[in-house]
Structure 1
C-alpha cells in the first residue's frame, strides 16, 4: 500500500511538473516560430535571458511589478492588521454595524467598483503614477475579515493583564497583537503580493505611460517588441513566475497556518 501511494504521488507530481518542463522547452526555442519540441537547450535559454535583460522594457516591467506588489502587500498588512484587530478586540459604538458593512462589500465584484475608483484617482491627479496603482488596493475587506477572524482567538486575559500593567492600546497591539497575528499577516501579505503580481486590468486602465507598466501589461507588449518570438515571450513568462513561486516556497508554512490555525500556538 505504501509503495502504491508513493507511485501515485510520483505520477501526480510528474503530471503537475509537465507544464513547467514544457515552458522550459519552449523558452529554449531557437527562432521566432519554433516551439522547441521536447528538447531543452540551456544555452539558448541563457541567450534569451540575456537578450531580455540587455535591451527592451522587460527590466523596467519587472521593477514596476516589484514596486506595485510589495507596496500593496505591505500597506494591506499594516491597515488590515490595525482594522481587523480593532474590530475583534476593542469595544466601540457601531462596531457590529461596521463589520457588517465590511463583510457586505465582499459581495461586490471588482469590476463594479472599477469606474468609481478610476474617477477618484483621476480627480486626485494620480493617473500615470504609482500611488494611483497602489493606494486603491492598500486595504481590502477580505484582509480586514481575515485578520479579524484570526484576532478573535487572541486571549482577552492576555490583553487585560497588559492593560493592568499600564500598557496603552498601541503598545499592546504592536507588542502582543502583531506577534500573535503573524501567520495571518504573512498569509495576507502572500495573497496580496500574488494578486498584484498578476493584476492586469487596473494598471492597464490607470497607467498609460509604458514606464509604469508592470509585467502583466508589459508581457502583452513583448509579442510585438520582439517580433512575436515564442522563445523570448515564453522566457519572459518563465522569469515572471519565479518571484511568486520563491515567495510561496518561503512562506508556505505560515500560509498553511494562517488558513487553518488560530492565533495562539
Structure 2
C-alpha cells in the first residue's frame, strides 16, 4: 500500500511538473526549428537569456513590475492592516455597517470599477504615472476582511493590559498587533503581489508610455516585435516565474499559517 501511495504521489508530482519541464526545454532551444518540448536539443538557455536581456526593454519591464508589485502590495498591507485591526478591536459608531459595506464590495467584479476608476485617475492627471497604476490598488476589501478576521483572535486582555500601562492605540497597534498579525499580513502581501504580477488590464489602460510597462504588457509587446519566437518568448515567461516562486518558497510558512488563521491563539 505504501509503495502504491508513493508511486501515485510521484506520478502526480511529475504530471504537475511536466509543463515546467516543457517550458525549460523550449526556452533552451537554439531556435524555433525544433520545439519537440520533451527532449533537450542542446542547452542554450543562457544564450537565450543573454539575448533577451540584451534587449534594453525587457530589463525595464522587470524593473517596472517589481516597483509596481512591491509598492502596491506594500501599501495594501499597511492600509488593510490598520483598517482590519480597527474594525476588529476598536469601538466606533457604524463599525458593523462599514464592515458590511466592505464585504459587500467583494461581490462586485473588478470590471465594473474599471471605467469609474479610470475617470478618477484621468481627472487627477495620473495617466502614464506609477501612482496611477498603484494607488487604485493600495487597499483591498479582501485584505481588510482577512486582517479583521485574524485580528479578532488577538486576546483583548493583552490589549487592555497595554492600555493600563499607558500605551496609546498606535503604539499598541505597531508593537503588539502587527507582530501577531504577521501571518495574515504576509499572506495578504503574497496574494496581492501575485495578482498584480499577472495584471495585464489596468497597466494596459493607464500606461501608454512604454517606459512604464510592466512584464505582462511588455511580454505582449515583445511578441508583436519579435514575432512568434517561441524559444525567446518562453525564456521570458520562465524569467517572469522566478520572483513569485522565490517569494512563495521563502514565505511559505507564514502563508500557510495565514490561510489557516492559525497564527494567533489564546
Q: TM-score, normalised by structure 2?
A: 0.97
Give 3-state SS (helix, strand or coil) of 1:40's partner.
coil
Give 3-state SS (helix, strand or coil) of 2:126's partner.
coil
Q: Is the CA contact (8 Å cut-off) linking 2:75 and 2:139 kept in structure 1? A: yes
List aligned pairs for 1:102-121, cutoff 5 A: 102-121=102-121
2:88 equivalent in structure 1: 88
Distance between the aligned counterparts of 2:42 and 2:83, measured in 1? Answer: 49
Q: Is the CA contact (8 Å cut-off) linking 1:29 and 1:230 kept in structure 2? A: no
1:13 equivalent in structure 2: 13
List aligned pairs for 1:1-80, cutoff 5 A: 1-40=1-40, 43-80=43-80
1:231 equivalent in structure 2: 231
How big is the shift at 1:33? 4.9
Distance between the aligned counterparts of 2:28 and 2:39, measured in 1? Answer: 8
How big is the shift at 1:246? 1.0
Q: Where does the alignment leave 5 or more consecutive residues of structure 2 unmatched?
A: none
How big is the shift at 1:145? 0.3
Distance between the aligned counterparts of 2:43 and 2:151, measured in 1? Answer: 51
Distance between the aligned counterparts of 1:224 and 1:188, measured in 2? Answer: 34
Distance between the aligned counterparts of 1:41 and 1:67, measured in 2? Answer: 36
1:254 equivalent in structure 2: 254
Alignment pair present for 1:207 and 2:207: yes
2:264 equivalent in structure 1: 264
Q: CA, structure 1 residues 88+34, in 2 after alignment: closer, same or farther (shift >3 Å)? A: same
Q: CA, structure 1 residues 156+39, in 2 after alignment: closer, same or farther (shift >3 Å)? A: same
Q: Is the CA contact (8 Å cut-off) linking 1:28 and 1:36 kept in structure 2? A: no
Distance between the aligned counterparts of 1:5 and 1:138, measured in 2? Answer: 45
Q: Is the CA contact (8 Å cut-off) linking 2:34 and 2:41 kept in structure 1? A: no
How big is the shift at 1:256? 0.8
How big is the shift at 1:5? 1.4
2:150 equivalent in structure 1: 150
Q: Is the CA contact (8 Å cut-off) linking 2:26 and 2:231 kept in structure 1? A: yes
Q: Is the CA contact (8 Å cut-off) linking 1:103 and 1:141 kept in structure 2? A: yes
Q: Is the CA contact (8 Å cut-off) linking 1:33 and 1:229 kept in structure 2? A: no
2:140 equivalent in structure 1: 140
Q: TM-score, normalised by structure 1?
A: 0.97
Q: CA, structure 1 residues 111+38, in 2 after alignment: closer, same or farther (shift >3 Å)? A: same
Q: CA RMSD in A?
A: 1.2
Residue range with higher mean Cα deviation, 218-227 or 197-206: 218-227
1:216 equivalent in structure 2: 216
Q: Is the CA contact (8 Å cut-off) linking 1:29 and 1:231 kept in structure 2? A: yes
